[in-house]
Amino acid sequence: MDAAISGNVSQALQRIGPSLDRFVEGGADAVASAYVRGTVPSELNDLPETGIGLEGALDELSVAIEHGCRIGSPGFLGYITTTSTTIGAAVQAAVAVAGGQRYLLHAFNALEWTALRWLAELCRLPEGVAGVFTSGGSSANLIALGAARQAAYEKLGIDIAQGGQPAGSPAGRIYASERAHRTVHRSAAVLGLGRDAVREIPCDRAGHVDVRLLAQAMAEDSAAGLLPIATVAVAGTTDTGAVDPVGDIVDVARSNGCWVHVDGAYGLVANAVPDLAPRFAGIEEADSWIVDPHKWLATGLGVGAVYVRDQGVLTRAFAEGEAAYLEGSFSPDPSTATSQFDAMGALWADQSLELSAPPRGVLVWAALLEIGATGLRDRIERHVDFARTLADLARAHDELELMCEPDLSIVCFRFRSDQPGVDLDRLNARLLERLRRETPLVPSSTIVDGSFALRPCFINPRTTLREVRALADAVVRIGRELASAPT
């Protein structure tokens, strides 16, 4: 018998359960551990010839859990990332045991359809869009831009996914603001367009693309014979949380016959909040959209979603093609299925990058089932309020500077001092380092208009107003110390 089929799931989960609970409560710190430097304790380094068994492996896992990744702690405010809430942990266990593949015919696979529909409804996407869950925003952007490239060349009678790019056909261009996520550039690289094919359009200070300059760039490129593949509208930039003027972008793109892609990995779901929806006006006119449930929905990592208006183009761009190992293994008519193995079910494998994949949408379905649309709207409103509160604190305080107005839940601000000889960029960079080392408050940083900015992002369900105020206080306290003792 294979040793790995011994043991039972609930006992295994019970064995690691206390470590997981302690971790969530913030117990045990990783500071002294080898793991914090990204290395593994030496006794676990060598490939074991003889395994230590289920219980032994679970006990070592418990040690790793204590030194796990703390992006879910209330004071972690960096980048745009957080971990799952309790339901996500339970769903991950359920998916591991009973989720299997996202193909075939079963409950988990069926629930993905529901999740795709719910998510589209929350983001107020148009009726009839086709979606697929992905591993995150990176692959979602790649899929959307792959579909856009397919559509653009099809207009010239070229099936680029099938035949590649014929000699003499025009080079493609993608338009995106200079604040667009670098996964747009990587998508261009992977698609064979090249990173340089992304024409970066300048933004205002807060990070909204300048639509006049976009129009100018598209006109220049059109005169030069380049083919517009997609214009990316960012619905919540990673630096400042700015939402591009999507409606204006759509107008310019349309007059150039260009696909519009909305990168809403972080922000698109805020369109569910009526007070915020006006910022997103025009998104329903786009051709493709992405949103990352592993951000504001806090499903836990590994869940993005991409939607397109026309599923056909997605299939033409991403179909695996027929294969002897698949065709003929299933009944041609799934409506007569009596076994879950009678049909492949959803053809998501032909509309994305993966064949084998877990039914990730179940995380979305369960998270929304737990708190409902209202629960999610409340969370987003609360986080946007945190951002406004911090912005107000920064505006009101002589020693703080708000660097741009927040559109959503990211705030860019910094400590400032009138003392002569203080280099504010350097001071704030050191301040950030001290926040990380000395406090539980961990924002990340960016550059606004050439200046270093502290940049907290509020998407973490565990963060409270206490952390927001504590961050402002800590920045003032540490900033004063650094300003009075410049090195």
Residues that bind ligand PLP in the complex, under the rule CB under 6 A: 80, 136-138, 141, 181, 183, 234, 238, 263, 265-266, 292, 304
Three-state DSSP class for 131? strand
| Beta carbon nearer to ligand PLP, 99 or 267 | 267
Nearest approach, Cβ of 104 to ligand PLP (angstroms)? Answer: 26
Nearest approach, Cβ of 384 to ligand PLP (angstroms)? Answer: 16
Nearest approach, Cβ of 238 to ligand PLP (angstroms)? Answer: 4
Which of 373, 458, 382 minimizes the C-alpha distance to 120?
373
Q: Which residues in 357-383 are b (16+ Cβ under 10 Å) and which e?
A: bbbbbbbbbbbbeebeeeebbebbbeb
Q: What long-range pairs does 14-23 form, CB within 8 A, spacing at least 24?
A: 15/55, 15/58, 15/59, 15/62, 16/58, 16/61, 16/62, 16/65, 18/62, 19/61, 19/62, 19/65, 19/66, 20/65, 20/89, 22/66, 23/65, 23/66, 23/68
How far apart (Å, rounded) are the C-alpha atoms in residues 220 and 215? Answer: 9
The H or E element spanning position 250 is: helix 246-255
Question: Quick one: CA dihedral 368, 373, 375, 377, positive or negative?
Answer: positive
Q: Are 176 and 231 in contact (CB under 8 A)?
A: yes
| Beta carbon nearer to ligand PLP, 180 or 468 | 180
| Beta carbon nearer to ligand PLP, 189 or 319 | 189
Nearest approach, Cβ of 45 to ligand PLP (angstroms)? Answer: 30
How far apart (Å, rounded) are the C-alpha atoms in residues 436 and 76? Answer: 9
| Beta carbon nearer to ligand PLP, 308 or 478 | 308
| Beta carbon nearer to ligand PLP, 61 or 71 | 71
Nearest approach, Cβ of 91 to ligand PLP (angstroms)? Answer: 18
Three-state DSSP class for 451? strand
Nearest approach, Cβ of 141 to ligand PLP (angstroms)? Answer: 6
| Beta carbon nearer to ligand PLP, 181 or 309 | 181
**CA–CA distance from 39 to each of 32, 43, 45, 273, 416 (Å)?**
12, 12, 9, 43, 38
| Beta carbon nearer to ligand PLP, 461 or 479 | 461
Q: Are 206 and 244 in contact (CB under 8 A)?
A: no
Helix axis angle, 53-66 to 9-24, nearest 10°: 10
| Beta carbon nearer to ligand PLP, 248 or 292 | 292
Nearest approach, Cβ of 189 to ligand PLP (angstroms)? Answer: 15
Phi, psi dihedral angles at 121 (to 5 degrees): -65, -45
Report which residue's Cβ sits closest to ligand PLP: 137
| Beta carbon nearer to ligand PLP, 82 or 463 | 82
Q: Are 150 and 160 in contact (CB under 8 A)?
A: yes
| Beta carbon nearer to ligand PLP, 234 or 343 | 234
Spacing of C-alpha 425 from chain mean position: 28
Nearest approach, Cβ of 214 to ligand PLP (angstroms)? Answer: 17
- CB atoms closer than 10 angstroms to residue 195: 14
Nearest approach, Cβ of 181 to ligand PLP (angstroms)? Answer: 3
Nearest approach, Cβ of 266 to ligand PLP (angstroms)? Answer: 4
How far apart (Å, rounded) are the C-alpha atoms in residues 456 and 112? Answer: 32
